Structure 1
Amino acid sequence: MYNFPCSYFILLILIKIPTCLCTDDAQYKHCNKEFVCGDLRHIKYPFWGENRPNYCGKLAYKLNCVNNIPTIEIKSLNYRVIQVNYYVHTITLARMDYSDKLCPSRLVNTTIDFTSFNYTSGTRNLTVGYGCPLNMSHVEYNCTINNTKTNVTYDPSMLCKQYVVVPAFENVASDLDQNRTSLVDALGKGFELKWFVSDVESEQCKNCIGSGGTCGVNTSNNSFICYCYNGPSLSVCDKRPGSSKNDSLTIALAIVGAVIAGATIGWGIFVCRQRRRRRAIKEATPTKTESKAILNKLSNKGLGISDTSNFTSSIPPYPSPKTSGTSKEFGKSTYFGAQVFTYQELEVATDNFNDSRELGDGGFGTVYYGKLLDGREVAVKRLHENSFRRMEQFMNEVRILTGLDHENLVKLYGCTSKRSKELLLVYEYIPNGTVADHLHGKLANSSSSLFSWSVRFNIAIQTADALAYLHESGIIHRDVKTTNILLDKSFRVKVADFGLSRLFENVTHVSTAPQGTPGYVDPEYYQCYHLTDKSDVYSFGVVLIELISSLQAVDTNRHRLDINLSNMAITKIQNHKLDELVDKSIGFETNGLVRRSTALVAELAFRCLQQQKDMRPTMKEVAEILREIRNDDSDATKPVVLDILVDEDCLLKDDNTEPTSSDHGIKFF
């Protein structure tokens, strides 16, 4: 099916050469075994347990088999392991104490180890209430916990004596909201976590397996190690020695045979691919009926496309930067106005989606670096097969991005047809990582000297401009966070990932089940299911605090009251402790200008993070305020005294409100 290089055929032949009859290393034999329990099979590194000793996997990923049920313990809670997906590094779990009932022995919230796992974006927390009013309509269950009878509900609006937070798949939670499933069934289907294995470690494990070894861990320093038939190795295994005097001749014949077979198979694959490419291009062209329906939909959304004759016409070929002559023409059809690529083109561009080209992985897709035949560098997003509503995400992102044009929004070059073998999106390649990478990720140490306050401040302005443009275009981003803010080599912003975005037209809110990333979700949206442009403002407020502090939006290693960065920031600001929040490396304590502008940005972030949406500024106002801070040179050398007036409920007052004796002033000096 795939055109593997001849070296792979040679390797396959060499593997078949008889090996010596010496005894294999014990660690190699143990780690070469798979964890098998119930329906869970083919489980290897980084997981261990049962017949796989602790040196066969990472410490946090121990599996157990209890009554033929695979389990894992995280933060003192036991979970049933439903599925492990090595392709996207996700594991589906369900709490054991909620597997078939709603009456656990102890009422405790679900907490995970964020150093080893993280929630995927297809997950939503359910609030289970205990000891709720008996006259409420959604009370469905009765339990006896600690010899006390209590009634149970899943409705977070009820005033119950105690609540427990349990994650669930977002689509299952939506079914529960609409009474299409029960709470027991919803929790029984579990939720999804992504496990962490670094790019370096993934490459090491891949090379180890390729050399005939099996992956494991050096328990003395918790580092990766490759277990081979003749003992551990830091990288790859040596070849097994041959057992006959004719090894050289055997290898030579194998190589010659592999070359001939490879050439024959390669020619056959080439012919098949050409046929598939012509068929895919033909299938990618929308019919007249489809074109008309799509155009009517876009016209209703105000995206300005009205000429059906132009919708399916060929777009001009993209000029090759390496040649001055005629360049090749790629996909001659468009989809929502975006160029349609064939799956085969993008397969070649990404070297068959080689793991070494992976740029990042999110809840809905993995992004790969690619290079088109015309020389363009691209980022190809490959939607997960098991992601929920992936077709909706795919069409949503194409529809929105083709109607936008802003220097701080990532450009969509095109996509595959929705009839393609896989759903792929093709963006411009942004080479300098994300804001999160530079603040507290893989680039934090290497870029600390370059990521100055002035760079961060410009990032804030450019991101605000992009979001204000979206709102003016009638679009709510819905997933604003530092991992979705890309940076080019000059640290210019490109806001990305519009899979959750929504169009809105002259409405006060959009009712929808809460989606987004923990730590960035508007609390009013979470409580009331009312999505507005002010939800993006709240998320941007969290981004501003990240730029000021270099801290993560959610970190379970912090004090329990500070796990959520927005809560931590509001507390620090109200208690006149901004200096405890600010990253010392930006010069807050040594540079007066930095101190002044940082304090002003902190005040703006405080306004964005208000619990009630009406108390927050619009995104346009946010962008204007940031520009005023940058341009306010006349008072730049004066000491800054900022008053943030909050009432007893910690809500920011209007500028025209006179302070009373009950107001608390927040000042930055």
Structure 2
Amino acid sequence: MDIHLALSSLITLSFFLAILPPSYYAYDPRFVDCSRPYECGRIKDVSYPFWGVNRPEHCGRQGFKLECYDEEYPIIKFEKLEFLILNISESQNIMTIARWDLWNRSCPRTNLSTILNYSIFDYTSAVRNITLFYDCPSQVYTPIPVQNRFTCSLEGSDVNNYSYFVNETLAKIQFPFLEQCRGRIRVPILRNSIIDESAGVVPALHEALKQGFDVDYNFLDKTACDGCMKSGGNCGYSNETHPFVCFCRDGERSHFCTGNNLYSFSLSHFTGLG
């Protein structure tokens, strides 16, 4: 095509679009909503299945709502527990999370073991469990190693009470006196976390808890979402019967976008580029 004719066509197209009412070329508002990445503190550029703050509910899946009332990290809730999200790897579908009630402390505010929503989350192989026992009876002798002892203050208890943590190996050994402890919770940590007395038991335990642990997250419509994104759409949520939907520039589709918006169609029509 002659360059002058192509230029003339583009000018004509620009004038044509300029005089059209906005409704002719406005994008679907849900497409615009879900184009925005989730951002909170250090976590940025996160998309489907996560939603919250600037991403409405129809831009994500149930169970993936993220709060943002911490200055550094977003928070996700499982039952009564809240977890700080330290990292999200969307390419691997892995989150690194840490219990908020154990952030900067080894004494929990709630006597609850860590619970996930196992329908969509699970621990990775890089995780191991430790069990924390609080407000335990005084013992003249205990077979638990010194490096597994720490102190904490629970509400309504003495300032310096006896507390212990046991790893998966020690958990196989019976310690009858631990049954008398007032509190006990099970907490995942990274398998390569090292807790020893050389750095001080309490600081080392704090560091292991602050590093958090990795969980896999699973959403069954990942393949459909990949197809939707490649077709120029944004993944979203419709309802429990048909949860996945692809929001396109010109409306909703079940899996992927099939039509072009007015501008791209008109451009190809006038210039012969399509």
Name the TM-score, length of structure 1 as normaliser.
0.33
Deviations 1:406-464 (A, max 9, x none): xxxxxxxxxxxxxxxxxxxxxxxxxxxxxxxxxxxxxxxxxxxxxxxxxxxxxxxxxxx
- The higher radius of gyration belongs to 1
> d(CA) in 2 for partners of 1:185 and 1:31?
36
Q: CA deviation at 1:147?
A: 4.9
> d(CA) in 2 for partners of 1:246 and 1:171?
56
Q: Is the 8 A contact 2:59 2:236 kept in 1?
A: yes
SS, match of residue 271 in structure 2: helix
Q: CA deviation at 1:197?
A: 2.0
Letter of the structure 1 residue corresponding to residue 164 of structure 2: T
Q: Is the 8 A contact 1:31 1:56 kept in 2?
A: yes
Letter of the structure 2 residue corresponding to residue 98 of structure 1: L
SS, match of residue 113 in structure 2: coil
Letter of the structure 1 residue corresponding to residue 224 of structure 2: Q
Selected match of 1:207 from 227, 239, 262 = 227
Letter of the structure 2 residue corresponding to residue 171 of structure 1: N
Selected match of 1:71 from 57, 69, 75 = 75
Closer/same/farther in 2, CA of residues 245 and 214 from structure 1, 3 Å limit: closer
Aligned partner of 2:9 in structure 1 is none
Work out whether 1:187 is the aligned partner of 2:209: yes
**What is the aligned-residue identity percentage?**
25
Q: Is the 8 A contact 1:105 1:146 kept in 2?
A: no
Q: Is the 8 A contact 1:28 1:227 kept in 2?
A: yes
Q: CA deviation at 1:250?
A: 3.5
Letter of the structure 2 residue corresponding to residue 117 of structure 1: F
Q: Is the 8 A contact 1:211 1:239 kept in 2?
A: no
> d(CA) in 2 for partners of 1:246 and 1:129?
68
Matches within 5 A, 1:418-433: none
Q: CA deviation at 1:246?
A: 5.9
Aligned partner of 1:125 in structure 2 is 129
Aligned partner of 2:59 in structure 1 is 56
SS, match of residue 176 in structure 1: coil
> d(CA) in 2 for partners of 1:53 and 1:220?
16
SS, match of residue 48 in structure 2: coil
Work out whether 1:32 is the aligned partner of 2:35: yes
Q: CA deviation at 1:61?
A: 0.7
> d(CA) in 2 for partners of 1:245 and 1:31?
25
Deviations 1:43-75 (A, max 9, x none): 110111111111111101110001323000012
Deviations 1:222-274 (A, max 9, x none): 5110011221111212211237966346353xx7xxxxxxxxxxxxxxxxxxx
Closer/same/farther in 2, CA of residues 251 and 186 from structure 1, 3 Å limit: farther
- Greater helix content: 1
SS, match of residue 53 in structure 2: coil
Letter of the structure 2 residue corresponding to residue 29 of structure 1: V
Closer/same/farther in 2, CA of residues 125 and 83 from structure 1, 3 Å limit: same
SS, match of residue 140 in structure 1: strand
Selected match of 1:176 from 186, 195, 199 = 195
Aligned partner of 1:98 in structure 2 is 102
Q: CA deviation at 1:134?
A: 5.8
Aligned partner of 1:140 in structure 2 is 150
SS, match of residue 168 in structure 1: strand
Deviations 1:100-120 (A, max 9, x none): 112222211111111111111
Deviations 1:301-331 (A, max 9, x none): xxxxxxxxxxxxxxxxxxxxxxxxxxxxxxx
Selected match of 2:218 from 196, 204, 207 = 196
> d(CA) in 2 for partners of 1:28 and 1:92?
29
Q: Is the 8 A contact 2:196 2:204 kept in 1?
A: no
Bigger shift: 107-116 or 18-27?
18-27
Closer/same/farther in 2, CA of residues 203 and 101 from structure 1, 3 Å limit: same
Selected match of 1:155 from 151, 161, 166 = 166
Q: Is the 8 A contact 2:135 2:157 kept in 1?
A: no
Work out whether 1:112 is the aligned partner of 2:116: yes
Letter of the structure 2 residue corresponding to residue 247 of structure 1: S
> d(CA) in 2 for partners of 1:243 and 1:33?
21
> d(CA) in 1 for partners of 2:195 and 2:45?
33
Higher relative contact order (CA 8 A, sep 6+): 2
Q: Is the 8 A contact 2:246 2:252 kept in 1?
A: yes
Closer/same/farther in 2, CA of residues 128 and 240 from structure 1, 3 Å limit: same
Aligned partner of 1:44 in structure 2 is 47
SS, match of residue 164 in structure 1: strand
Closer/same/farther in 2, CA of residues 243 and 212 from structure 1, 3 Å limit: closer
> d(CA) in 2 for partners of 1:234 and 1:240?
17
Aligned partner of 1:166 in structure 2 is 187
- Structure 2 gaps of 5+ residues are 1-12
Q: Is the 8 A contact 1:129 1:152 kept in 2?
A: yes
SS, match of residue 184 in structure 1: helix
Letter of the structure 1 residue corresponding to residue 216 of structure 2: K
Q: Is the 8 A contact 1:216 1:225 kept in 2?
A: yes
Letter of the structure 1 residue corresponding to residue 155 of structure 2: I
Q: Is the 8 A contact 1:143 1:152 kept in 2?
A: no
Aligned partner of 1:520 in structure 2 is none
Closer/same/farther in 2, CA of residues 232 and 146 from structure 1, 3 Å limit: farther
Aligned partner of 1:266 in structure 2 is none
> d(CA) in 2 for partners of 1:210 and 1:44?
14
Q: CA deviation at 1:207?
A: 1.4
Matches within 5 A, 1:207-246: 207-219=227-239, 221=241, 223-237=243-257, 238-242=259-263
Work out whether 1:83 is the aligned partner of 2:102: no
> d(CA) in 2 for partners of 1:141 and 1:251?
76
> d(CA) in 1 for partners of 2:34 and 2:265?
29
Q: Is the 8 A contact 1:71 1:81 kept in 2?
A: yes
Q: Is the 8 A contact 2:134 2:152 kept in 1?
A: no
